[in-house]
Chain A
Amino acid sequence: MTDTATLERTRQGTAASLELTHALAQTLYREARLLDTENYADWAEMLAEDLHYHMPGIETRYRRDKTDQVTDLTRMAYYNDSKPEILKRLSRLETGTAWSEDPATRYTHIITNVEVELTENADEFRVYSNFYAYRNRNERDEDSLIGNRIDIWRQVGNSFQLVKRRAILKHNVLLSKNLNIYV
């Protein structure tokens, strides 16, 4: 499958170089590490000013039902945020009164299946990846969130900024009391 996709990209001229592929993979891993260590200040620096961060809520529907559950932005979504809106959420953690985050939650983001392709904009790249976000808080409170992401990353100097992210969580009922975790 990978071969086919790679060939397809080569045919379309959207195949990314080895170096670019690794540079973006390393960027995703760094992002994951920042989130694991609650380093939200540095994470916010990885977000472009024109960021759109979307995580739709997915209902269980019959196949014949053509309701667009993923890209229709007028439907219910866990996140449908601009950068200022994300920053607003993050500012809760800086108040010092987010009681439920103290003692701290432990996180691991596992990012895998990274695919990189070129886009019509020379400085922007589409990156597909899968995430397994694990968190453990209190004594035995644990959650596993699994899904895929389709990102656009923009090259800015030597680094990259996240311009678009659509994260599709595979839950119907969120099997948790909240989502105090970014993926």
Chain B
Amino acid sequence: MLDRPLSPPPVEVIVAVTQALHCEARLLDNEDFDGWLAMLDEDICYRMELKSRRFRADRSPPLPVGPGVIFNEDLGRLKLRVDRLKSGFVWAEDPPNFIRRAISNVEVVARPAENEVRVHSVLIMHRNRIDGTTRVLTAARTDLWRGEGQAWLLVARDIVLDHSVLPDSNLNAFF
């Protein structure tokens, strides 16, 4: 990953990808899941790994089958999640929870190809829940976006959640 700001900054790409990220957040806030799925590349790899708190110098080896994941989704599994949300049986989302995503720090960190950018961004997810409480989750994301004509498609997303104990009773939400 190129770790310096591109100079000069690819202003048009930055603006276009920022718009795509904002658009994506808006679609999700509005529960327009089909609109969101349409922004995903068919080879999408959408991941959020489980993390534990370890001492920096800890010597124990990695877990045999890996740490496990909160999300490790391809397009099929994302569709499956969306199908559930649209099934009409998800009582936890009825009435809907109010979710607002704030996207910031949209940083183009690399441009592996003319029509591809690696983008780092951070997200605050403000969830006003059915029970009247508000939960705030924060996360950082590193994405790969591909320009296809006028549109930008999400090809890969790695999400790092800042919580070691999830402070909420579910994650019926996409980051």
Nearest CB to that of B105 among chain A residues? Answer: A29
Interface of A is mostly: mixed
Query: Among the listed stretches B53-61, B63-71, B72-80, which one makes contact with chain A, having 4 or more residues with CB under 8 Å of it?
Result: B53-61
Contact B120–A33 (Cβ < 8 Å):
yes
Contact B8–A108 (Cβ < 8 Å):
no
Contact B120–A19 (Cβ < 8 Å):
no
Residues of A within 8 A of B (CB): 18-19, 22-23, 26-30, 32-33, 36, 42, 102-104, 106-112, 132, 134-136, 138-140, 142, 144, 158-159
Contact A108–B140 (Cβ < 8 Å):
yes
**Known: A108-B162, A134-B162. Contact between A32 and B105, CB under 8 A?**
yes
How many interface residues does chain B have, given as a range?
35 or more
Q: How far is the CA of A138 from the CA of B163 in the complex (A)?
A: 9
Residues of B within 8 A of A (CB): 3-9, 11, 14-15, 53-57, 102, 104-109, 120, 122, 124, 136, 138-140, 160, 162-165, 167
Residues of B within 8 A of A140 (CB): 165, 167
Report B104 CB to chain A, min CB distance, Å. 5
**Known: A29-B107, A109-B105, A112-B104. Contact between A159 and B7, CB under 8 A?**
yes
Residues of A within 8 A of B163 (CB): 106, 136, 142
Contact B5–A111 (Cβ < 8 Å):
no
3 pairs of A and B residues whose beta carbons are closest in the complex = A29-B107, A103-B53, A29-B105
Q: How far is the CA of A138 from the CA of B164 in the complex (A)?
A: 8
Q: How far is the CA of A124 from the CA of B82 in the complex (A)?
A: 49
Contact B8–A109 (Cβ < 8 Å):
no
Which of B6, B9, B108 gathers most chain A CB within 10 Å? B9
Contact B8–A29 (Cβ < 8 Å):
no
Contact A102–B120 (Cβ < 8 Å):
no
